[in-house]
Amino acid sequence: MMRTILLLGCLLAALNFGAVLHAQEPPALRPWPANPWYWSVNDQPVLLLGGSDDDNLFQWSEQALIAQLDRLAAAGGNYIRNTMSDRRIEGFEIYPYARRPDGRYDLNRWNDEYWQRFERLLRETARRNIVVQIEVWDRFDFTDHTSEKHWQAHPYNPANNVNYTASQSGLAVLYPDHPGLNRQPFFFTTPHQRHNRTLLAYQQRFVDKLLEHSLGYDHVLYCIDNETNGEAAWAHYWADYIRKRARQRDREVQVTEMWGAWRLTAAEHRHTFDYPELFAYVELSQNTHNRGDRQWEELSVARAYLGGRPRPMNTVKVYGADGSDFGRTDQVGVERFWIQLFGGSAAVRFHRPDAGLGLGDLAVASLRAARKLNERVPLWSVQPANGLLADREANEAYLVADGRGSYGLYFPAGGAVRVDLRAAAGDLTLQWIDISSGEWAGQQSISGGRAVAITAPGPGSWAATIVRQP
């Protein structure tokens, strides 16, 4: 009965998901006060699950965008990534600035179409109760490292605009190095760095325009960069800037930074971990370059480190797909998604192809399966509990439990383990979910109060819920 009431509460909250906030009301999207490891909408817990076939969906045509969002919503998804990226990869991408007849850009004039596309994304996601995690800057937009030479065409390049010269801006016309080498002065403009007033003014203008649109909605999260290894001063400046601008409009926003280090113990992650007053959540996507037990262990370390001030741990990019350089099989992508989920991540999204599974059939099946599991065993009510497993081989199984009689179990590729069910005496129902299809796959009765041997129904990927019988 209580679970039914909770689900009804979540549904009612979702009906007003896209409403603009009033200053006297609690923010619609924020860490859940009852369990700040997870998100809430109007103070009701919500699990964010997603996938998409691109990282900057706002650039898509209206028809393609709506089809993508409808497919996501039908699968139970409610979470996308949207970089404000404008680099021309597919050919339909456009820049935010107006272009003159002579081919140069004017950074004081907007390209209205760019911002109309952004507004459309915000409007259509609000209608479908889909949370948008925005990345303000993407370092790969400002480099000539790839064959596309994105910086060569960019409006911020002094060769391409009428607003400043190379000497005035401190920007060169060519940056051939990988952005990880941090040789692009674009990311050193803030007062505690090089204080490049000329360029900073245009950066502020861009962020102000972004917020002019996004602050009218209450389903938006903010991330400063894509997988940066830049200076902490840059991230801290923009997080503070966005929060201040929001407060001027009586809004509370949730901001973070995404660091590039695969190991969550790396020092750069502490630039967000150690500043909860500035960063309301943490971004752990790069952990999905790891796999299996290593991935799980890194999550455990991060969770322990954040334990004094718990915050949502988001994973907006899950790597891995057939042919990908970041986990070369679809199986790896599925595994990484479920390990992040069971390891305590509050938001998990499949990365775009071919780095991830996007919103392909396997991703859709996992979203449906995860939503089924969460209906029976809400993940905000349990904790990672691999310590209750015995006879487990490496990467064989993962467990969550609430300590009172509810469990979630995940087998990446079949297997058999013993599960300590001593906290759940009496009759229990074990129900299987076939992750490859996203469908329920049979149930059985088991007796709790002891360790129980559980074997997956087959060699594929399986999840199971274990709950007390009514």
Kindly report, residue by residue over 109-118, the tens digit of the pLDDT: 999 999 999 9
Strand runs (DSSP E) across 143-256, as ranges? 220-225, 255-256
CA-to-CA separations, 210 to 25, 27, 135, 160, 282, in angstroms, rounded? 23, 19, 11, 22, 22
pLDDT tens digits, residue range 429-461?
Answer: 999 999 999 999 999 999 999 999 999 999 999
Question: Phi and psi for 467 in degrees, rounded to 5?
Answer: -140, 160
Kind and range of the H or E element at 182?
A: none
The reported pLDDT for the residue numbered 146 is: 86
Q: Pull the structure tokens for residue 54.
A: 């691109």
The reported pLDDT for the residue numbered 27 is: 77
| Average pLDDT score over residue span 205-216 | 98
DSSP structure class, residue 392: P
**CA angle (48 as vertex; 45, 50 as ends), nearest 5:** 160
The reported pLDDT for the residue numbered 9 is: 42
The reported pLDDT for the residue numbered 2 is: 38
Closest Cα to residue 310, out of 282, 288, 291, 335?
282
Select the more confidently predicted residue: 321 or 26: 321
Q: Is 284 helix (H, G, I), strand (E, B) or coil?
A: coil
| Average pLDDT score over residue span 339-351 | 98
The domains located in the chain, with CATH, are 2-383 (3.20.20.80), 384-468 (2.60.40)
Q: Is 349 helix (H, G, I), strand (E, B) or coil?
A: strand
Q: Specify whether the CB–CB gap between 78 and 219 falls below 8 A.
A: no
Q: How far apart are CA 23 and CA 285, in angstroms?
A: 32
Select the more confidently predicted residue: 220 or 1: 220
Q: How far apart are CA 175 and CA 376, in angstroms?
A: 52
Q: How far apart are CA 238 and CA 256, in angstroms?
A: 10
Q: How far is CA 416 from the centre of its chain?
A: 32
Q: Pull the structure tokens for residue 295.
A: 């991935």
The reported pLDDT for the residue numbered 470 is: 83
Closest Cα to residue 411, out of 381, 382, 435?
435
pLDDT tens digits, residue range 37-54?
Answer: 999 999 999 999 999 999
Closest Cα to residue 117, out of 62, 50, 41, 74?
62
Residue 428 exposure: Cα atoms within 13 Å on the Cβ side:
28
Q: Specify whether the CB–CB gap between 384 and 303 falls below 8 A.
A: yes
Q: How far apart are CA 60 and CA 111, in angstroms?
A: 16
Residues 6+ apart with CB under 8 A from 152: 144, 173, 174
The reported pLDDT for the residue numbered 25 is: 63
Residue 180 exposure: Cα atoms within 13 Å on the Cβ side:
6
The reported pLDDT for the residue numbered 3 is: 42
Residues above pLDDT 90, as percent of the chain: 91
Residue 338: CB atoms within 10 A of its CB come to: 24
pLDDT tens digits, residue range 353-397?
Answer: 999 999 999 999 999 999 999 999 999 999 999 999 999 999 999
CA-to-CA separations, 448 to 384, 386, 387, 389, in angstroms, rounded? 19, 17, 17, 14
Question: Phi and psi for 389 in degrees, rounded to 5?
Answer: -100, 140
| Average pLDDT score over residue span 20-26 | 47
Would you place residue 26 in the very low, low, confident or very high pLDDT band (cuts 50, 70, 90)?
low
Q: How far apart are CA 214 and CA 221, in angstroms?
A: 10
Select the more confidently predicted residue: 414 or 326: 414
